[in-house]
């Protein structure tokens, strides 16, 4: 194992990535803060695909070493030097039903507060990525809300940039609570 790898609580080998960029993709006046985070890992054993998930190992609470949280890979570019990948993360808060206090989500706030050159540990890929049908004339229907757009963004990029000419209709239905909450409108 390399210096950068450790064993995750599940016993799986973890990887490490460095944050290259963190961009807010919701308007400053929007109710929700959503960030597009771009990472790089030089770990040759990591082989993610758009639509697959990684389990980010955020610092734990209450004596736990880690707090694991799954995030879909938005974009993945593999090269000889390593892999660039992106995550779409919404800063999350929740209200304790017992005492009414507001608490920050552990993993989302850890990720949203990262600065360039800081590192994360993660396990993955976890689960299977979305796959395209063999028939390039097959219709594709995708439905997502909020940060659920993440795996579809990567899949659509893959569809048009790497899979060649797609002949079937491609439809993405995306929902947001308001216009300011629409992600990746550029």
Task: State the DSSP string of 37-59.
Answer: EEEEE--TT----TT-EEEEEEE
Provide the 10 A C-beta neighbour count for residue 132. Answer: 16
Most confidently modeled range among 70-84, 117-131, 136-150:
70-84
At 76-125, the pLDDT tens digits run 888 889 999 999 898 998 898 999 999 889 999 999 999 999 999 999 88
pLDDT of residue 5: 43
pLDDT of residue 28: 84
Q: How do the domains of the chain map onto residue ranges?
A: 15-126, 140-181
pLDDT of residue 146: 64
Span 138-147, average pLDDT: 76
19 DSSP β-pair partners = 39
At 19-55, the pLDDT tens digits run 999 999 888 888 888 899 999 999 998 988 877 889 9
Span 48-67, average pLDDT: 88
pLDDT of residue 37: 97
* CATH 2.40.30.10, domain 15-126, yes or no: yes
* CA atoms of 152 and 50, how far apart (whole Å): 8
Do residues 31 and 16 touch, judged by C-beta distance below 8 A?
no
Provide the 10 A C-beta neighbour count for residue 108. Answer: 22
At 164-177, the pLDDT tens digits run 778 888 887 776 66
Do residues 32 and 90 touch, judged by C-beta distance below 8 A?
yes
* CA atoms of 142 and 122, how far apart (whole Å): 27
Tokens describing residue 65: 């070493």
CA angle 73, 31, 93 (to 5 degrees): 65
Provide the 10 A C-beta neighbour count for residue 171. Answer: 10
pLDDT of residue 147: 65
DSSP of 143-168 = EEEGGGGHHHHHHHHHHHHTS----S
């Amino acid at each position: 194992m390399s210096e950068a790898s450790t064993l995750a609580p599940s016993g799986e080998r973890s990887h490490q990535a460095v944050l290259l960029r963190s961009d807010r993709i919701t308007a400053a006046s929007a109710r929700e803060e959503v960030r597009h985070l771009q990472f790089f890992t030089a770990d040759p054993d990591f082989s993610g695909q758009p639509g697959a998930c990684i389990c980010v190992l955020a610092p734990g609470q209450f004596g736990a070493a880690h707090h694991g949280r799954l995030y879909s890979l938005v974009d993945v570019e593999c090269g000889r030097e390593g892999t660039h990948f992106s995550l779409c993360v919404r800063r999350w808060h929740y209200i304790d039903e017992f005492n009414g206090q507001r608490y920050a989500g552990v993993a989302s706030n850890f990720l949203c507060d990262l600065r360039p050159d800081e590192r994360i540990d993660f396990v993955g890929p976890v689960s299977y990525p979305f796959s395209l049908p063999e028939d390039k004339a097959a219709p594709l229907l995708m439905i997502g809300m909020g940060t659920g757009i993440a795996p579809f963004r990567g899949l659509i990029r893959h569809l048009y940039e790497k899979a060649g000419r797609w002949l079937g209709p491609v439809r993405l239905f995306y929902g947001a609570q308001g216009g300011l909450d629409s992600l990746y409108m550029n």
